[in-house]
Structure 1
């Protein structure tokens, strides 16, 4: 009953179904009824049978020998990136809304929540919708973002506002944000410095631990200095904005905003920041005159002839050094005209040949060096370029790629991949994440549940990668983390492959009824979509990669949130609160193996809190252990009056849920199988200490009494 689009005719559906049920039951041999998942589950449980236990997943799926549904792992990568960015933004906006106090009127985060919820549809973030539907999803997200942006700005204005002993505050500060910062478009940073004013940068950290990172802001002058929250000048570095980024920035600002940038930024100014948990720090970027002494360090730039591929040295200091070679290639999409008519499309990945990407001219590398980070800029051809970035305080490589418009004038759709190649002996084995949480072991051309017949050795070994993928041999681990969901695999030992972008010109006849050929239009015409994205790679000694994957994975998913204001003089620090933490940060931060995944104010002073253990059992010798979180330290300015533990979805109490939990009989096991699962102990109502076992998520509804206004 149902299926796609059928409920547009719900009245007809139900009328016919009512008749069907009536006549079946009139016969009396079978009882037909409208069922629910609960009724179905209860009936299965009442059968009192032994059930097989499955612990892995169902990927990759195919409904025909040559129709593996693994293309949608990458389809519409821009939309996948948009959903990921706004999911992180929503998490931070909800926290700031809580610190400020949720308003019964005016802007809130609900519209963004609704848009993100709809975007989880199986034909939304998957990229398997038609183009006009994708545009509608993006519109809803944009509307939600605009409202949430106001919440963030007003929350930061209140939290930075300095209040006198009489309770009188300054006028509310205006904050702007830069959603197009990834293409170097940030009007506040260019305007303030161009007008001789100081740029105030508020940096918010939505994670429960202190972060030390290097951020980059586009500026239009090289005469800049940066000061920290205490007013001390700190080291900063100027880097040239690549010609590729500038070109894409101009084109997409015109496409998205309908206008040309008034002044194109010339440089990135990079500086290291330190931000407290669930809190912000303030930095000032100011212009200097030539007579006032040195400004930011200008990076040294050298240009070299290079080979087709990049060789990247990554490792953990002196303890391990390994070389990984990175290259690009593409699969030509099958057009579906052979004896088995199956094309590559929005759902299906069916390659018809593999091609390495050769440089159109002699490849040139531009190497940029400085005190905070080094970069290597490479233009592979007219539509692929990348910047490989290594920060002095980080022990991994960050690769920022730009792909598009993918040329299809030759009548061939293309699916663009990158490969990271090592000499590791990995025995057909690799690991990919499941929903960004636990990792699942994959073995090439093998399924433990059945005898596998491999019809498509490439597409049939592709898996979804939401957080990352890693390889290991007897001494090292190679990990790659991504900034959005993509498809990927290890098709040969020691090699990791990611599919980064796809543009196809044939429909795969699986329901979309449209080709996956995304374009971006300006008044002069339309061209194929360009993607700017990032992935991160690191090589560790065996057994030590989990720390990096889990910590950096959280930081990738929850990037620092930047907001901008400006000032005429130098009195910002004295007239505003320069640093803030929502928890008792002077003496407390979350354990390194725990993340806050929800902190949200509901009605009647209730707070929804979800805490997640980030590690699996046995994943890391130090962090795959029980963790404790002190609720009193998470709410230092509020008195906790009541705490109730809830189900994951927070729609019923945990005790109530446990009473109704069914104990299933398992083949080769027992009804007590569930009791072997390790969970944190009950919450102590006096100590308010939450215990979390590996991979456990616990959800609480907390009633708080406001003792003190935040920022006061």
Structure 2
């Protein structure tokens, strides 16, 4: 019966509606009226109060009544009832699950709904990603795999045109830039600062042109703010989860149609007054709405019918629509648009609720997400080297887990604990799959020396492969496109000498060092290891290649690392930093000791503090508690943490200071002596279990460089890319009322925070997302851990009181610090951040004595080595992955923000293959850049509605093999055919994407 119903529905659908998607399928408004675009939608969190799969199946409704499979079932059924109805869907992780369970008849039905533009995919990401704590490489992947799924299944009609970021807690400039590089026409946001929104409503500036990236118009994106976040007007939520209904029969009890219409008109007038055109977008949905879509559509049909019957009187015209159709209607009205150049951080929902705590919440999860993302990029590289035509299905396990964790309740740390545990499990499965792919790929290249083990506990200096064996092989894979020198660190049990051999070059001396592990590491709860020392050795690895090292334990005591008596020695030899000098010394004042970095006459010190969190009943603004979402200290100053006990160990590769502040905070400050690792200080911090007997604590690291006259300005990255200037107690688009002087000045950090003046600069690079600020000139602070005993009442319903092994969570992380000359530091810090992100992949195996011996006898071994890949130092290989048979997708980024374009020979990346064609693609990689037609816009600074996206010399004759610009019906069109030329130019600050066809 179901099949017959669907068949008849399809026949009816075919006969009534022309199959046409995109802007051509949009309903037309009526001139002279306020056209109200009714947008039915659901917001389905990819994990929050329940796990992803619990949400999909509708399990654990005792936590939250939500089942996504029923939403999609119900919506499709209701769309078939009336061809005027529309619906948008966003989270591809859920739709992918549903799609895999459908038969061919249902799939064809849904394809026709998509082809008619009645079911429209918006944004298209695997999850609706966060924009504060998510790294831009993971954002791109999250969006790209979802868009590819929709395109593969639904063709061009499945490709989204606009972004729909309705629930993230603040919005980044880089995310808008990413969507512009996808070729999107616009972006709609839900949450912005309450004061910003009030001013925009009053000034009719709820829509703007966001100047988000490089390249003029190419880096701009129309951006609209939803009037009611993403909810329906009060009294008009027609979901089963709500109590609202239109009762239109006067003969029955509780008739309310007249009052409902009056209430709706009042709300619509208020919304219309906030916008500059005769179109308004009205959201009709909410969290996990439409599990019974009939309740929505039956009432919305009534609302549209009765409102339109009286439209000549009230001048409102209602119809079902989508965000993209609304966008096109606004564009056709050619309203002037204000511009925006900054971002939407931090987000505040009231004067005492600045959502800046989640920048740091759950730092362990944030750390493993970053590691999993880094591993995924390396995994995709190795998998692309393989001869198979199909992508390894194990790779999708990793892609999906990393993308799920970009969700705005995952990487943010704002999900319930049992959901967070599920995120961890997914990440572990994905990392395990990637390590299998990498080991198999590298073993195929070197079958005589197999590595097949990885140590997930290296972050706490625990690894059975290095602790229990007298000899073992270590493989080091370098995912960067140039030769790199690394310091590889592995835990060992004894302070003895080791023999370390480069298996490919056994005559080469490999420098190493053995150093005692800090006592605080040995006491980490859950650590099950006999290792008391750390063995570090130099590994020089060519780009996109691996090197294997044989490590064999000796019998003699290792004596090259010396413990230095700090009472007799204060200053230590210098380490080169460009043309400047960086040195480190211990300063003693009475019983107090501190570590000081020096560059010329500039000094920088580091210390730990903690904020006491505010505690309240959350019933009024002033009584808001600090929680998983918001950071609200109880007072205006941080509490200093006492002076540390200091030990210094100096060896051939580095010297490191062990600083013990108390029972729950310690630090290793490391300064490298080797040429490949010079020029910075490395701070390995360990925090926890945070004591909470006297209440929760929010821990910060504070960096002071008073000689740097930074004033009220500092800089942070935006999703790990370009820097954005921050000004204390200031907002670009409204006058800030400083009700929370600390948290109102906190901003998200993905990779970098810094201060500078005309002469010197201080930059701090992080290994995970954190929050930070500069509250005084010459000072930076970064929050690294939080443990709280109260909830902030923004939905998660749990205090941020993480525990592991029966104790408060211990977290171990790393900062790198540059103190150097302004100008020189900016590019250096960006390159260093990339090295922190693209850490080498370390794997282990049995000792390869036989291969070592054979390589020692092979005098021609260097001739057999694969040609080294050496891309220019400013060029980042953002992505290298298999796209289809003999097709590799490559994204290249120029980290320099000024200067000339850099020429890259793509053939370097494929030394063993021939390139047939190179096609430039949109950033997501799923369509040719030449096929993208973006809407042109009028801006108050540029009144011409026809703005070329690319500059073209009109005096130069062109043909189909060259660049052409066309301006057709309000669209800017860029055309360029494929080329066999393997050399490309990467402009400063740009990411460029290429689909490379290799010889079969």
User: If the length of structure 2 is used for normalisation, what is the TM-score?
Assistant: 0.63
More deviation in 85-94 or 347-356? Answer: 347-356
Which of the residues 295, 299, 322 maps onto 1:20?
299
Aligned equivalents of 2:320, 2:330: Cα separation in 1: 16
1:554 aligns with 2:834: yes
Q: Match of 2:634? A: 352
The change in CA–CA distance for 1:425 and 1:611 in structure 2 (over 3 A counts) is: same
Aligned equivalents of 1:89, 1:675: Cα separation in 2: 39
Aligned equivalents of 2:945, 2:538: Cα separation in 1: 52
Q: Match of 2:119? A: none
Unaligned runs of 5+ in 2: 1-40, 46-64, 75-239, 241-289, 568-587, 953-961, 964-975
1:506 aligns with 2:790: yes
1:300 aligns with 2:594: no
Q: Match of 1:621? A: none
Aligned equivalents of 1:309, 1:488: Cα separation in 2: 25
Q: Match of 1:648? A: 923
Aligned equivalents of 2:843, 2:951: Cα separation in 1: 42
Aligned equivalents of 1:649, 1:114: Cα separation in 2: 16
Aligned equivalents of 1:71, 1:182: Cα separation in 2: 24
Q: Match of 1:226? A: 500
The change in CA–CA distance for 1:603 and 1:188 in structure 2 (over 3 A counts) is: same
Aligned equivalents of 2:296, 2:808: Cα separation in 1: 46
Q: Match of 2:653? A: 372
Aligned equivalents of 2:468, 2:486: Cα separation in 1: 25
The change in CA–CA distance for 1:66 and 1:106 in structure 2 (over 3 A counts) is: closer
Please tell me whether the aligned partners of residues 202 and 562 of structure 1 are also in contact (alpha carbons under 8 angstroms).
yes
Aligned equivalents of 1:62, 1:483: Cα separation in 2: 26
Which of the residues 533, 541, 565 maps onto 2:813?
533
Q: Deviations over 1:638-687 (max 9, x none)?
A: 12223222211122221111xx1112111122448965878998688243
More deviation in 144-153 or 414-423? Answer: 144-153
Q: Deviations over 1:62-87 (max 9, x none)?
A: 01001000000000000000100010
1:489 aligns with 2:489: no
Q: Match of 1:265? A: 531
Q: Match of 2:512? A: 236
Aligned equivalents of 2:984, 2:429: Cα separation in 1: 37
Query: How far has the Cα of 1:636 moved from its partner?
Result: 1.7
Which of the residues 275, 283, 289 maps onto 2:541?
275
Q: Deviations over 1:140-175 (max 9, x none)?
A: 1111112222111111111223xxxxxxxx5x7242
Q: Deviations over 1:359-380 (max 9, x none)?
A: 3xx7421100011100000110
Which of the residues 207, 210, 213 maps onto 2:483?
210
Alignment of 1:24-63 (within 5 A): 24-27=303-306, 28=308, 29=311, 31-63=317-349
Q: Match of 1:638? A: 913
Please tell me whether the aligned partners of residues 278 and 583 of structure 1 are also in contact (alpha carbons under 8 angstroms).
no
The change in CA–CA distance for 1:214 and 1:668 in structure 2 (over 3 A counts) is: same
The change in CA–CA distance for 1:582 and 1:40 in structure 2 (over 3 A counts) is: farther
Query: How far has the Cα of 1:567 moved from its partner?
Result: 2.1
Q: Deviations over 1:525-562 (max 9, x none)?
A: x1110110010101111211112111111100011111
1:701 aligns with 2:995: yes
Q: Match of 2:158? A: none
Q: Deviations over 1:493-552 (max 9, x none)?
A: 00000000001111101111111110102xxxx111011001010111121111211111
Query: How far has the Cα of 1:398 moved from its partner?
Result: 0.3
Q: Match of 2:526? A: 252
Alignment of 1:327-406 (within 5 A): 327-337=607-617, 340-353=622-635, 354-359=637-642, 363-393=644-674, 394-406=678-690
Q: Deviations over 1:103-132 (max 9, x none)?
A: 759762110100111111111101111111
The change in CA–CA distance for 1:648 and 1:365 in structure 2 (over 3 A counts) is: same
More deviation in 341-350 or 538-547? Answer: 538-547
Alignment of 1:99-498 (within 5 A): 99-102=385-388, 108-161=394-447, 170=448, 173-193=450-470, 198-221=471-494, 222-228=496-502, 229-232=504-507, 233-248=509-524, 251-253=525-527, 260-261=528-529, 264-290=530-556, 297-302=560-565, 310-315=594-599, 320=600, 322-337=602-617, 340-353=622-635, 354-359=637-642, 363-393=644-674, 394-410=678-694, 412-423=695-706, 424-498=708-782
Query: How far has the Cα of 1:574 moved from its partner?
Result: 2.6
Aligned equivalents of 1:702, 1:45: Cα separation in 2: 36
3-state SS of paired residue (1:335): coil
Please tell me whether the aligned partners of residues 920 and 978 of structure 2 are also in contact (alpha carbons under 8 angstroms).
no
Query: How far has the Cα of 1:688 moved from its partner?
Result: 1.9
Aligned equivalents of 1:127, 1:284: Cα separation in 2: 40
Aligned equivalents of 1:602, 1:20: Cα separation in 2: 45
Q: Match of 2:114? A: none
Aligned equivalents of 2:405, 2:989: Cα separation in 1: 25
3-state SS of paired residue (1:499): strand
Aligned equivalents of 1:160, 1:473: Cα separation in 2: 51
The change in CA–CA distance for 1:270 and 1:614 in structure 2 (over 3 A counts) is: same
The change in CA–CA distance for 1:652 and 1:105 in structure 2 (over 3 A counts) is: closer
| Structure of greater relative contact order (alpha carbons < 8 Å, 6+ residues apart) | 1
3-state SS of paired residue (1:231): strand
Q: Match of 2:958? A: none
Q: Deviations over 1:87-113 (max 9, x none)?
A: 000111111111234575976211010
Report which of the two has the higher share of helix: 2
Aligned equivalents of 1:63, 1:704: Cα separation in 2: 52
More deviation in 297-306 or 48-57? Answer: 297-306
Q: Deviations over 1:233-276 (max 9, x none)?
A: 3322111111111221xx334xxxxxx43xx1122122222111
Please tell me whether the aligned partners of residues 608 and 700 of structure 1 are also in contact (alpha carbons under 8 angstroms).
yes
Query: How far has the Cα of 1:283 moved from its partner?
Result: 1.9
Query: How far has the Cα of 1:321 moved from its partner?
Result: 5.0
Query: How far has the Cα of 1:699 moved from its partner?
Result: 1.6
3-state SS of paired residue (1:113): helix
Which of the residues 831, 855, 875 maps onto 1:594?
875
User: If the length of structure 1 is used for normalisation, what is the TM-score?
Assistant: 0.87
Q: Match of 2:15? A: none
Aligned equivalents of 2:847, 2:553: Cα separation in 1: 12
Query: How far has the Cα of 1:176 moved from its partner?
Result: 1.2
The change in CA–CA distance for 1:672 and 1:23 in structure 2 (over 3 A counts) is: closer
Q: Deviations over 1:176-228 (max 9, x none)?
A: 111211211111112222xxxx3222111101121122222212231312223
Aligned equivalents of 1:479, 1:582: Cα separation in 2: 42
The change in CA–CA distance for 1:528 and 1:42 in structure 2 (over 3 A counts) is: same
Q: Match of 2:175? A: none
Aligned equivalents of 1:108, 1:548: Cα separation in 2: 36
Unaligned runs of 5+ in 1: 162-169, 254-259, 618-623, 707-712
Aligned equivalents of 1:456, 1:203: Cα separation in 2: 47
The change in CA–CA distance for 1:91 and 1:130 in structure 2 (over 3 A counts) is: same
Please tell me whether the aligned partners of residues 445 and 461 of structure 1 are also in contact (alpha carbons under 8 angstroms).
yes
Which is greater in Rg?
2
Aligned equivalents of 1:676, 1:156: Cα separation in 2: 43
3-state SS of paired residue (2:735): coil
